[in-house]
Every structure is written in C-alpha cells, then in structure tokens.
Structure 1
Amino acid sequence: MAKRPTVPPADAAPRAPRRSGRPTSARPRAPKAASPKVAAPESPPPRPEPAPEPAAAAPGPDQREMLETLSLNLARAAMTAQAAIAEAALSQADRPAALSPDPFNVGPAMTSVMSSLAARPDRLFSAQADLFSRYMDLWASTARRAAGEEPAAAPSKDKRFKDPAWSENPMFDVMRQSYLVTADWMNGLVSSVDDVDPRTRRRAEFFTKLLTDAFSPSNFLASNPVALKALAETNGESLVKGMQNFAADLERGHGKLKISQADYGHFEIGRNVATAPGKVVWRDELFELIQYDAATDKQRAVPLLIFPPWINKFYILDLQPANSMIRWLSAQGFTVFVCSWVNPDQDKAGFGFDDYLEKGVYRAVEKVLAQTRSKHLNTVGYCIGGTLMGAALAHMAAKKDDRVSANTFFAAQHDFAEAGDLLLFTDEHWLNEVEQQMDAAGGVLPGAAMAETFNALRANDLIWSFFVSNYLMGKAPPAFDLLFWNADQTRMPKTLHLDYLRKMYGQNALTKGEFEIGGLKVDLSKVKTPLYFQASREDHIAPMNSVYRSARAFSGADVTLTLAGSGHIAGVVNPPSANKYQHWTNAALPASLAEWQAGAVEHPGSWWNHWADWLHAKSGDWIPARDPEKGPLPPLEAAPGSYVKVKS
C-alpha cells in the first residue's frame, strides 16, 4: 500500500526555497565545455504574498447593544405570551366545555354550499380559471414593476393596508394583492351559489368573510411591514408591550381573550362622560328617571321622554359636552327626561315585554306627566327601545290612550324581514345555545356575549384592527369615549331576550299583527301618532332598508323619515357643530327605499336641526323653564344616577 504523503502541521515553519544546483534526477548529464566564469545572478526578490480578503466588519458596540436588546426583548415577549396563555389555560381548565363545537350551525350551511358547487363542475372549473387568470395578471404586473416599467401601486383604500409600506415594498405589495385576490375570489364563489336557501347561503357568506378577514397578512407579525418596522425601530420593545397588552386582556377576560378597545381607566361615568346636569326624580326596580336641568329661560310645554336601548347604557346620548344630544336638546328649549334602565341580574330573569311595557314605558310616562303637570308628552325610542316603543304605541292605540303626542325612532326596527346579519344569529340551533348560556348564568345573558356578537358583525373594525394595534404594534388603546361606552355592556333577562329574538327576528310577529303585549295582539297600522324615523345609510344593526320597511308598517300614521350618513351610532350621535356627514329628506314614503332615495334631497351635516324643527311644532307653547328640584317628585340624587354605574 502506498504511503500517505506527510503533511506538515499547520503551525510548522515554512521551508527555505531550494536553490537550483544539483539536478534532482538520478540520470548523469553530459560534460559541458568550459566557459568563462560569470557572476552568478542574484536571487530574485521574494514574490509578495497576496493581501488577505478583508474580513466582515465586526459589529460595533452600539450595534452589539442593539442586537442584544432586540434578542432580550424578543425573549421577554415570548415568555410573557407563554405565561399568559398558560395562566389562561389553567383558569379555563375547571370550566365546562363549550356547549357546541358549532354554535352558529356553520357546518351544515357550508356543506350545502359545497354540495351545490360540486354538483356544478362547470361553474367550479370556471371559477378556478378565473382565479388562475387573476394570478397571472398579478404576476405580470409584478414582473413589469420589477423591470421598472410600472410604477408602485397607490396606497390601498382598505384600512388594513393604507400604510405606504404595503405598496412601496414589492414583496409586501404582492402579498397584499394576492391575499385580496384570493379572499375576493373565495367570497365571490360562495355568493355565486343560487340553488340553496338564501339564509343558508348568507350564513356561509358571513362566516367565509370572517375566515378570510382572519387570515389577512396584516394580522400576522411576519407579514405586516408596519409592525415589523415598529419592531426594528424599538429594538423589540413594541412586541414586549404588545404581549403585555395581550396578557392584560386575557386576565381581564378571566382566561378568555377580551380585546381592549379603549383606555377604560381614562373615563369615569359622571366625571368625564354622562355629565349633563340633572336629577334622578324616580327610581324603582326597573329604571331610574332622570330630568335634566333647563339650559334656557323658557321651555316647550310638552316634555320629551327618551327610551334608550337596554342592551347598552343611555349615556351614548351624553358622552362629552360637545357631542351630547341631551345637552343639545336642553339648549333647544326642551324639557328632557331619560329612562335609565337597570342592569338586570338574576332576579329579573323572568321579566318580559309585558314587564317592560307596564313597569317601564307606562310607569315612566306616568311619572313624567306627574312631574311636569302636563297631559301629554313626546317620546323617543332608540334601537330596541324603539321596538318596544312601537309596540307600546300600538297597545296605546288599542286602548285609546293618547298621552303621547308625537314619537321619534332612532335606528329602530319593527319589520324584521330584512334585519341584516343579526338574522344569522336567530335560528333555533343558535337560540338553544343562547338559552343554555343564559341558564348557566342564572337566567341572564352576560353583557360580553352580546358585545362579541356585535363585534363579529364588523370584525375588521372592532376585532382585528385592535388586535394589530394592541398586540403587534404594542400601542395603548385610545382614550375614545364612544368605544368606552361600547364596551360598557349590560345583561339581559332570559325571557325578554328570547322573546325578542324568536318573535321579532324569527317570526316577524310585530309587523304581521301577531305579537302579543299587555294582553293584546297589537297592530302597528292602527297607530295615529305622528312619527319621525331616523335611519343611517351604513347601519349594520338596523339596516336602512329594514328601518324603511318599519316606517311603512305604521300605515295609519303621519310619518317623516330622514336618512343620515354613517352608521348605527355615528349616524345618530352627530351634532350640528361637528359639520360631519350628510342627511337626506323626502316628504313622500313610496313603496321602496330605492324610490325614496331617488326623490330625496341631500343636505350637508347633521339631521338634528331638521328633527328639532319637527319636534318644536309638536311640543306646544313656550313656558317658564322647569326646575327638576321644584317638581312634585323629590330629587333622589344627581344625574347620571346609580343604575348606569352598575357593571356587568
């Protein structure tokens, strides 16, 4: 076996170069002729060794410190999240499992849609070809942009991708556009099914939209350039704060994630929200009656009583002085009363519509008339408070009770045939789940349950935007009065809530004349009281078409309808001083909303002045202003009272 050549060790000294002299070959050479001696040439100078490749510069002290800080912060963020999740798992371990793995009955709806698509392979093939075509267009556009032939895309109008980083960076731009293509295609595919029950298809559409919204690249740290930029600029501190926010929300929800939408510690009821001056002049087991101080020397003779929804608290109408409807109405010369509903507990589990009619509407009307020594009053019903007030007006009509001179509805429904996405939560499968949930809570629906439903209707605005801001960006929730109010939910009695969902949403009984309240089946068409309806163009809870149908259901009344810009809350709470949005008016009430809109006149800004003109005409003469402390009902405490401060 041949020997392996010896390799000198790496640290061995180099050998001296060999001089040319004796040949290395063993063969002898022929003798050469003598030649004159010449000086031997000097050895050539040593060849310079090539310069070593420059090594990568070691990070400087500042860079090392930044990298160390980033590493530590990432570790802190991970440990914070892991500890919070472990704590949440422990807190949930002894709780009963969810009542159903599919409480919204999505599975059967998706099965029906997929079966329909499978039965039409031509439609499915066409849809796949359409998706392929969209992707080819996207990649072609991306290639042109990479070659400098096409400018960067303009910032998106979609609020999730409005930051320029989404369009300036080619990688994130492709990610954004491919997501939008896929989400639009998937939602369109489900919507294209036309041979299944419309409500089944709508359920599939709704939850497909929830799914595609959840998988937006903006909701993940690694695919959100804005969150990554914040991470880099803060050396990971943004993620640490985000995970601290995450842990705090898990703790606030007792192991269930309860995303903060506002800085709840910034607001205090009676200190910087719900501050309009007034007095509680009546209190019983169901409500407190608040009379507000006069803001003018004279007031209209006919007082105004407002019934807000019992799903939320009344101070949506009295957030800050600048946007308080209650203060504004007082400044217009109206004597304003508000029914502040109790936050019901288990002792009210059996309360239903009859109780809220007799112990709520009728008793509040009686007390306002006693306090003002008036024979008549005007009323307002907001949202579900308006649904109750509509039934009460029909009950009054049947009993020939004319104490209400005029009534206004804010975003209120009575005809529920087109009541929007909330109809998806009212099939019997889900109602049985709700009933079991209320039984487990002692006969009331927890406030958080209703909040989760409303948030799901606008998931991008009310869930994912806060998920990104609070957790991925590490920002503190804003000090926003409306969102503080939005999170201040109330409980609901089992009997009342199930009757509302089953008979209104499920059976549309009120408009059909099949709803019984106060011992009578009531008929909305028998109401003769003048009515003012306000609807909002972008309302997702009381859709404008549903409100319009409700207005037409009062066929025997003189109805005025105004359509406001914005949604369920901002469309109502829009003071004239804000100079925001617009509103439309039309004296006629044709068969459809589309016809009404075609003949409507657009006006800039708030609808409040239009309503106030209508209300003044129905509120009697001017009289000396009323003082809440000088009426027959003795003041019990200052507004906003005690009931509004009870937390769920």
Structure 2
Amino acid sequence: MPSKPRMPGRAAPPAQTDLVANPHPHRNIDRALRAGLARLTGGLSPHATAAALSDWGQHLARAPGRQMELAERAGTNMAKLWAYGMHTMMTPDAASAAPFTPRPYDHRFTHPGWAKPPFNLWQQGFLATLDWWDAATHDLPGMQEKNGERVNFMVRQMLDMVSPSNFPATNPEIIDRIKSSGGENLRAGQANLLADILELAEHAPKPAPEGYQVGKDIACTPGKVVYRNDIFELIQYSPQTETVHPEPVLIVPAWIMKYYILDLSPQNSLINWLVGEGHTVFTISWCNPTAAQANLGLEDYRTRGVMAALDAVETIIPDQKIHAVGYCLGGTILSITAAAMARDRDDRLASITLLAAQTDFTEAGELLLFVDESQIAFLTDLMWEQGYLDQKQMVGAFRAIRSEDLVWTRAVRRYLMGLEDMPTDMGVWNADATRMPAQMHTEYLRGLFLENRLTAGRFAIDGRVIALKDIKVPLFIVSTESDHIAPWKSVYKTKLFTDGDLHFVLTKGGHNGGIVSEPGHGHRHYRIGHRPAGALYMDPDHWLAEHPKKEGSWWPEWGDWLSRHSGAPTAPPKTGSDTLPVLGPAPGTYVMQA
C-alpha cells in the first residue's frame, strides 16, 4: 500500500526517541544552566514555586467571598488576641486561656516564660498569623491541593525566620540564659557559629564524638561480612543463644541511609535484640555511591541487591525459608521484590515485615511537596552534572519539612543559648548521611512518588506488571504516629492492596524513634490489629477507634509473631559457607564510606 502523502509545507515531527533517549547536544547547555541554578536553590525548582503561587493567587483573586471569609477570620483572630491580652492583665496565670497552640512537634515555646506578658502576646500573635495562613492556603475551589500546600509550606518557612523565639529580646529563655551566664552564652554561641561555618566551608565530615564510634560503640553487634559486590555488603551476625530458629532473618534497609539505624547502641539495637531472641540475622549494608555509579537504578538494587542477598542467605542456610524485613524505602523495594517473586513462583520467603514503609504514595505527606515534573527535571539536571544527589541536599529537604524543630530550635540553642549539641547514637547516625545514584533517585521519584506505579498496576519487572496482592506470605506492618516521611495512614494502605494474613502495628514516635523503641524505653505505647486472610477492609480511622493502646514496646509482639512463623530451635548455622567465606568483621567497609 502506498504511504499517505505528506501535507505540503509541514515537516514530519522528530521521532520521540530522538528527543528523549538521544537529546540534541545543545540541550546540555540548558541542563548545565539548570544544574547551576539548582545548586543555588538547594535543588528546589523556582518554576514549581512560581506555578504554585500563580495557581493560589489567581484562584483567590477570583473568589471575593473567600476573601471576605479570610478577612473575617483575621478579625476574629485579632479579637481573640485582644481578649487574651486583657485576660492576662487581670489573671496572673493565663496559659490555659491561650487561643492558639503550637503544633505537637513545635518545641520553640515550651519555656514557662512564654506564658507571661509580653512574651505570651508575641507568641500568640505569631501563632495567630500561622493560623490565618493555614486557612488562606486551603479550601480554595479550583486550586490544586498540592499548590496550596506548597504555598503554605513556603509561607511557613518565611514566618519561621521571624518567629519571636529567634531573637534575644523577644525570647524569655534566651533572656534568662543571658542573666544567669552574664552574657557568656552569646560568646559561646558565636564560637559555635564560627565552628559550623568553618566546617561547612571545609566540606569535611565532623568526626564522631567520643563514645559514639561506628563499629566500636554503635553498629557493634558482633558479626562477619559474608558477601560483597559493588552495591552492598551482607553481614551475618554471630549467634548469642545456644539454639536458634531455623529460618534466617534478612534485613533490607533503605539505600538513602546507613543500615545501623537498626544497630545503634547495644541496648537499643533492633538487630542485637533480634539475635538475642534466637534468630540468625543478616543485614544488607548499602554502599555510599559515587559519581562512577550514577547509572545504578532500581532494577540494579532489586536484582544485584535484594535478590543477590537472598541468594547468599540461601547458600549459607540452605533448605530454609527466609523472614524478610524492610525499613523505609528498603521496605518498598522488598515489596516490589516479593511481588515479583510471588508472580514467578519463587517461594523462598517465610514472612515479610515492613517498618515505616510505603507501597502507595498518594498520601506520602509533605515529601510530595518536593515532587512534580518540574522538580524532578530540576533534580535530574543537578544529578546529571554531579552523578548523585548529595547528602546535604537530601537532608536539607527533610529538615525543611520540620524546620520549627530541626532548624530553628537547634539554631537558637546553639547560637543564642550557647549550648553544645548533646551527642546521641541516633544523632551520630543522622549526620552520617549517604548519597543516591542519579538514575535510582530519578526512577523512584518518578515511578513511585509521582506516578505511583506500584499500586496503580503499572510497575513492571522484566516487562511484566507485578501486583502486591500476589504476596501470600504473612505480613507484619509497623507504622509510627508522628511520621512525617511515611505517614501512618499511607503505610496503612498496604492493607488495601494485599489480601493475605496481616498484622498492623501503630506505635508512638516518629519515622526513626518509633521503630527504635526497645523494651524498657519509657513513655511508649502501640496498637496492634490482625487481619486474617480474605477479611474485609477496615478504614484507618475505624481501625484506630477499634484498637486500644498497649503500654510498652512493640518489639516483643513482633518477636512472638516471628516465633509463631518459625520452626523449632536448632543448633546455630556456621558463619559463611565454603563458597561464601568470611570477608571481614562487622560492620564491614561500606558503612565507613564518607
């Protein structure tokens, strides 16, 4: 059949592959310019910011009724402040009458001096302003909800800069400190500021404080490295009991963090506790990628990461199924791996435990503020130039989400109160950040966060779509109440996309503190529920109302659950095997990579 004639004067469009897979070399000019701009903005796209402001501003401009409502709210807030001011003049203790309260994670106003005039009025005026902006950036018909959240986030960042807690003259805690120290706190704070500036200029990591050395004081559970490739090392921990359960436990941490969040000090190490409970434990220790590993992608981390670790564990302990545990994004990639295994009739898993891990990302909290087409393109150009996402660029995004506590409270204490940061094992771990390969970061931001392919039925492995509902092994899902990285209702949605036997735990704490919640840790509680295979779905609010709090740590509940899904104890296996000899002591070499 003859081809259809081309219309005169109209050129055929370039092939899609010519534009995307093989971009014109001139486009490198654009990428270099965007990468330079990204370094100045900390990786935030100004185009995404402008679009959000435009969307919010235009919709508000066309809503006179909403404007009147906001004007009325401003008047109401002023009336509340006036009434509160008059009340404080007549009542010595007016703290209980304060009309506005800080958010639960905001610790800037905990000093008792904030309940006394004039500090209480300054505090309440600041909180009233935050309240008004919360109202102004929400519930605006026609505006994209994410744009409203983004404007709210930007305004909050600006308001936090001028909070009365940030200035010596308006912060009663700083004034008390100046009086008690004779102004010595300001000199000490100045020295702290200079030290931090020099450290930032030198680009040198701060050495761990005494008593918090990796491999000696933390990440010190005895074990051996039994496998290594270019992506990870596999650690097998030495038994601490005369007998162990025959099924080994494999831990898959997130590749955006060092694994030893689960092996901090011996008393709060989840790994050390698990070994002490009679389990043979293995953990993946991911490498800290360099520019030479820019092309490592999700599939590399699945096949040469999780699957390679499973193969190694099976070689060392043959003929036994494996309890798999995934933390944060390690739980996400474990879920992907398990779904592919189920599809391919690979039945090596005995159970799956997911710790603060999301499989659906439509409600992934404030991290979604950093994810859209413009933002991903901006980060992609930044990583194209340097080959990875730098530690400081990633940590900055997490800190910005909780800037009230993670940025400003720390700054006030360090630079105005003159107080040194108290070293903690989790603080040392938090400062020991990792890089992310450019391709991996782009793929998971686009495929998981932006397009939500895993639960939308569009995530393919080897050219075939996988489904979480194919996973039939028992599931144990743990979420935390105040998690701002993996909100608990987002983690709960795992119940929507699976139908097997599932236990769900909601524990007190945040993304890290709620997981590192050892027995004996004070002021801890949790809720636990069981969904039998094939049971009907229960929404999260109903689940919360139906399951009362239990005091203590969730670890023993998990330990009992693992024991119920394990065989009778037997003699511990040897470390390594004939084909996988011991390569060195734990914690290995990759965890030391700066």
Please state which band the TM-score falls in when normalised by the shorter chain. 0.7 to 0.9
Q: Provide the residue aligned with 1:645 in structure 2.
A: 592
1:282 aligns with 2:227: yes
Instruction: Provide Cα deviations, 1:550-601, integer angstroms capped at 9, x if missing partner.
Output: 232123x322211112121111111112143211122236242122223224
1:567 aligns with 2:510: yes
Q: Secondary structure at the match of 1:563?
A: strand
Q: Secondary structure at the match of 2:335?
A: helix
1:166 aligns with 2:137: no
Instruction: Provide Cα deviations, 1:22-77, integer angstroms capped at 9, x if missing partner.
Output: xxxxxxxxxxxxxxxxxxxxxxxxxxxxxxxxxxxxxxxxxxxxxxxxxxxxxxxx
CA distance change for structure 1 residues 235 and 353 in 2, over 3 Å: closer, same or farther?
same
Contact 1:263/1:476 (CA < 8 Å) preserved in 2?
no
Match of 1:199 among 142, 146, 158: 146
1:508 aligns with 2:452: yes
CA distance change for structure 1 residues 143 and 378 in 2, over 3 Å: closer, same or farther?
closer
Q: What CA RMSD, in Å, does the superposition of the two structures yield over aligned residues?
A: 2.4
Rounded Cα–Cα distance in structure 1 between residues aligned with 2:355 and 2:578: 29
Q: CA deviation at 1:634?
A: 2.1
Rounded Cα–Cα distance in structure 1 between residues aligned with 2:193 and 2:350: 52
Match of 1:403 among 348, 356, 374: 348
Q: Provide the residue aligned with 2:358 in structure 1.
A: 413
Contact 1:249/1:259 (CA < 8 Å) preserved in 2?
no
CA distance change for structure 1 residues 238 and 263 in 2, over 3 Å: closer, same or farther?
farther
Contact 1:259/1:466 (CA < 8 Å) preserved in 2?
no
Rounded Cα–Cα distance in structure 1 between residues aligned with 2:92 and 2:316: 73
Rounded Cα–Cα distance in structure 2 between residues aligned with 1:568 and 1:489: 16
CA distance change for structure 1 residues 229 and 403 in 2, over 3 Å: closer, same or farther?
same
Q: Provide the residue aligned with 1:153 in structure 2.
A: 95
Q: Provide the residue aligned with 1:43 in structure 2.
A: none
Rounded Cα–Cα distance in structure 2 between residues aligned with 1:280 and 1:520: 34
Rounded Cα–Cα distance in structure 2 between residues aligned with 1:202 and 1:440: 30
1:233 aligns with 2:233: no
Match of 1:248 among 195, 207, 219: 195
Q: Equivalences for 1:289-368 in 2 at 5 Å? A: 289-368=234-313
CA distance change for structure 1 residues 559 and 144 in 2, over 3 Å: closer, same or farther?
closer
Q: CA deviation at 1:372?
A: 2.0
Report the AA paired with residue 526 of structure 1: D
Report the AA paired with residue 95 of structure 2: A
Q: CA deviation at 1:144?
A: 4.5
Rounded Cα–Cα distance in structure 2 between residues aligned with 1:141 and 1:167: 11
Report the AA paired with residue 166 of structure 1: W
Q: CA deviation at 1:263?
A: 6.9
Q: Equivalences for 1:116-195 in 2 at 5 Å? A: 116-146=59-89, 148-149=90-91, 151-153=93-95, 159-168=107-116, 170-195=117-142
Match of 1:456 among 392, 400, 419: 400
Instruction: Provide Cα deviations, 1:92-140, integer angstroms capped at 9, x if missing partner.
Output: xxx9554676626223212322222222233323322332333234234
Rounded Cα–Cα distance in structure 1 between residues aligned with 2:82 and 2:301: 61
Rounded Cα–Cα distance in structure 2 between residues aligned with 1:487 and 1:532: 29
1:271 aligns with 2:216: yes
Q: Equivalences for 1:372-387 in 2 at 5 Å? A: 372-387=317-332
Q: Equivalences for 1:42-81 in 2 at 5 Å? A: none
Provide TM-score, normalisation by structure 2. Answer: 0.87
CA distance change for structure 1 residues 136 and 516 in 2, over 3 Å: closer, same or farther?
same
Q: CA deviation at 1:178?
A: 1.3
Which structure 2 segments of 5+ residues have no match? 1-34
Q: Provide the residue aligned with 1:587 in structure 2.
A: 530
Rounded Cα–Cα distance in structure 2 between residues aligned with 1:265 and 1:220: 33
Q: Secondary structure at the match of 1:338?
A: strand
Contact 2:365/2:484 (CA < 8 Å) preserved in 1?
yes
Rounded Cα–Cα distance in structure 1 between residues aligned with 2:75 and 2:227: 67
Report the AA paired with residue 474 of structure 1: G
Q: CA deviation at 1:414?
A: 1.1
CA distance change for structure 1 residues 293 and 212 in 2, over 3 Å: closer, same or farther?
same
Which has the higher mean CA deviation after the structures are superposed, 392-401 or 228-237?
228-237
Contact 1:141/1:150 (CA < 8 Å) preserved in 2?
no
CA distance change for structure 1 residues 255 and 194 in 2, over 3 Å: closer, same or farther?
farther
Instruction: Provide Cα deviations, 1:147-191, integer angstroms capped at 9, x if missing partner.
Output: x455443597752111112223x1212211111112211222222
Which structure 1 segments of 5+ residues have no match? 1-94
Contact 2:245/2:278 (CA < 8 Å) preserved in 1?
yes
**Percent of matched pairs sharing the same residue:** 35
Q: Secondary structure at the match of 2:496?
A: helix
1:552 aligns with 2:496: yes
Q: Provide the residue aligned with 2:50 in structure 1.
A: 107
* 4+ residue segments displaced more than 4 Å: 95-102, 154-158, 262-266, 629-632
Report the AA paired with residue 227 of structure 2: W
Q: Secondary structure at the match of 2:137?
A: helix
Q: Secondary structure at the match of 1:489?
A: coil
Rounded Cα–Cα distance in structure 2 between residues aligned with 1:144 and 1:290: 63
Q: Secondary structure at the match of 2:191?
A: helix
Report the AA paired with residue 485 of structure 2: I
Contact 2:225/2:582 (CA < 8 Å) preserved in 1?
yes
